[in-house]
Amino acid sequence: MTSTSHPLGLRAELATLTTEAFRADLADIDELPTLEIARLMNGEDATVPAAVADRLPQIAAAIDAVADRMARGGRLVYAGAGTAGRLGVLDASECPPTFNTRPGQVVGVIAGGPAAMVTSVEGAEDSAELARADLDALALTADDTVVGVSASGRTPYAIGAVTHARTLGALTVGLSCNAGSPLAAAAEHGIEVVVGPELLTGSTRLKAGTAQKLVLNMLSTITMIRLGKTYGNLMVDVRASNDKLRARSRHIVALATGAGDDEIERALAATGGEVKDAILVVLAGVDGPTAARLLEESGGRLRAALATTPG
């Protein structure tokens, strides 16, 4: 999936990428005081949100397409290598506690498998075949979405994932940090956030990684908003799996309803701790089973469920 596997050819290819460009003005950075290096790095990081802003129309179009597939029962799958792969796995792993997504609804696959989260797996990113095998293990359908993530936009694993997913009828998104990337060309929705050369030449875990994290935040969060996983800006589908989240659940019910502590406790007890159901119990004056039924009939959307009740 790359123009050449020869080291000299690859070197020439990398030399054309903005993310690999050399900053001559930073050639003496190692001789600067620590505070000055920190200021330089912070200044570089401050340019990333503007680069993301330049691609908001493409990001929004991709989100609407993802939400449409997921509303039909599809999954959101991130595929990448190295830093890009780790960011996808991170975003996927945070969806269950934040939005109570069902197991396997948001998935991150990384070249080299789980071991690649903490150590380099040599050669894994260069294998489009490995990407196909990883996706086949998920038994993709046309309702699923595969987001290939690669700072360079030329990583064979990410391109292979998107290319294979497209042959299966899945929605595809290609997220990269270079213009005119093969990854964006391979995907139905190409998102190219061009952040420019890195503080350390080619260290794309820096600005490029930050840009990818920001875009992945948007993809998952706004998709979940579109799917009714929030009520306003409240995480009403939060999974209360520890003491902090249980306290947050009670705070969310209080913010949504204005109810006192005793009423909140009764509502949560009546709904098995489900925040969205508890809010409906308080605001609509229904019992726990009725709240669950109304939400099921409304596709899990609290506003729609509230609109069907007399209150």
Catalytic-labelled residue, pool 20, 44, 122, 125: 125
CA contacts within 13 A on the Cβ side of 124 = 22
Cα 157 to Cα 84: distance, rounded to the nearest angstrom: 11
Q: Is 31 a catalytic residue?
A: no
Cα 249 to Cα 238: distance, rounded to the nearest angstrom: 7
Number of neighbours of residue 246 by Cβ within 10 angstroms: 14
Cα 297 to Cα 90: distance, rounded to the nearest angstrom: 32
- Cα–Cα distance list, 66 to 62, 79, 187, 299 (Å): 6, 15, 13, 17
Catalytic-labelled residue, pool 13, 94, 188, 263: 94
Cα 151 to Cα 165: distance, rounded to the nearest angstrom: 20
**Token pair belonging to 180:** 């005119």
Q: Is 263 a catalytic residue?
A: no
- Cα–Cα distance list, 283 to 235, 238, 257, 267, 271 (Å): 17, 19, 6, 10, 14
Cα 212 to Cα 287: distance, rounded to the nearest angstrom: 43
In the block, residue with structure tokens 């669950």: 292
Q: Which are the catalytic amino acids?
A: 94, 125
